[in-house]
Amino acid sequence: MPDAVLRLDSVNVVRDGSFLIQDVTWEVSPGQRWVVLGPNGAGKTTLLQVASGRLFPTSGAVDLFGQRLGTVNILDLRYRVGVVSPALVETPPPDERVLDAVVTAGWSVIGRGDEPYDEVDLARAATLLTQFGCRELSDRRFGTLSEGERKRVLIARSLMTDPELLLLDEPASGLDLGAREALLRRLTRFAADPAAPVTVLVSHHVEEIPVGVTHALLVRGGQVRAAGPVAEVLTAPRLSDCFGIPLEVSVAQGRYAARLAAGPPPRRPVSVAV
């Protein structure tokens, strides 16, 4: 097994003369669970595109599973990376049966055709749906699911090929409080499973970080502002620097929360004598 699952060395992605990501050096090792945080436009999705082998950098080197992108057939590596991202992968058609939406990932297809599926594949899809609390949805049409159910089905789909690296792009975005907490509970359990793949989760919000995340990468303006173990990186000074506002950060039972730091008390109104 290579010592790093993913390694970026001085990676730049340039479009129309602008850096989407700039001089990014980052290493993800076996057993780690990463969160990538940063404000809108920071370059998080671009980073995931590079990490998934879908975007070749303008300069710098990317190694996936110890193999240098550009020197190997990328299709041989891509199936080893599970991706849940509306920006990076197509979603199943609305009339697709949920079980089929998961099992078809084994053939890297969207929409079930005439291809035969082994009982073992169908059983694996059912197990993954159970793991993410969606087993009872197996016969429903994908398009009829709630946003929270859809996200959990898409994670199950991304795991169908037993990937060694899982990339989750804002899995909790757009979910109400109950759906977010249900998803985070599943992701927490998943993070604690030693058999689960190395995971990189992208988010804007520290409240959406599941318990069990081990490392954090902060990006702003395409550049890495901090990277390392969560407790060292998810601090008020570092998050304030990343988001460009003064923040207070708290952590309770492994869950993080951030809010604008209390400023000086507002000035008392001047009383006017009449």
Which parts of this chain interact with ligand ATP (CB under 6 A)? 15-16, 18, 20, 38, 40-46, 204
User: In whole angstroms, how close is the CB of 216 to ligand ATP at the nearest point?
Assistant: 15
Does the CA dihedral 89-90-91-97 come out positive or negative? Answer: negative
CA–CA separation, 50 vs 15, rounded Å? 14
User: In whole angstroms, how close is the CB of 46 to ligand ATP at the nearest point?
Assistant: 3
Does the CA dihedral 33-126-101-171 come out positive or negative? Answer: negative
Q: Taking the mean position of all CA atoms in its chain, how far away is CA 43? A: 13
Q: Tell me if 186 sits within 8 A of 131, measured CB to CB.
A: yes
For ligand ATP, the closer of residues 46 and 104 by Cβ is 46
For ligand ATP, the closer of residues 44 and 124 by Cβ is 44
Q: Tell me if 160 sits within 8 A of 106, measured CB to CB.
A: yes
Distances (CA, A) of 21 to 58, 83, 109, 258: 10, 20, 30, 25
User: In whole angstroms, how close is the CB of 147 to ligand ATP at the nearest point?
Assistant: 17
For ligand ATP, the closer of residues 16 and 139 by Cβ is 16
Distances (CA, A) of 60 to 23, 161, 184: 8, 29, 34
User: In whole angstroms, how close is the CB of 238 to ligand ATP at the nearest point?
Assistant: 17
For ligand ATP, the closer of residues 40 and 73 by Cβ is 40
CA–CA separation, 42 vs 207, rounded Å? 18
User: In whole angstroms, how close is the CB of 57 to ligand ATP at the nearest point?
Assistant: 13
For ligand ATP, the closer of residues 38 and 210 by Cβ is 38
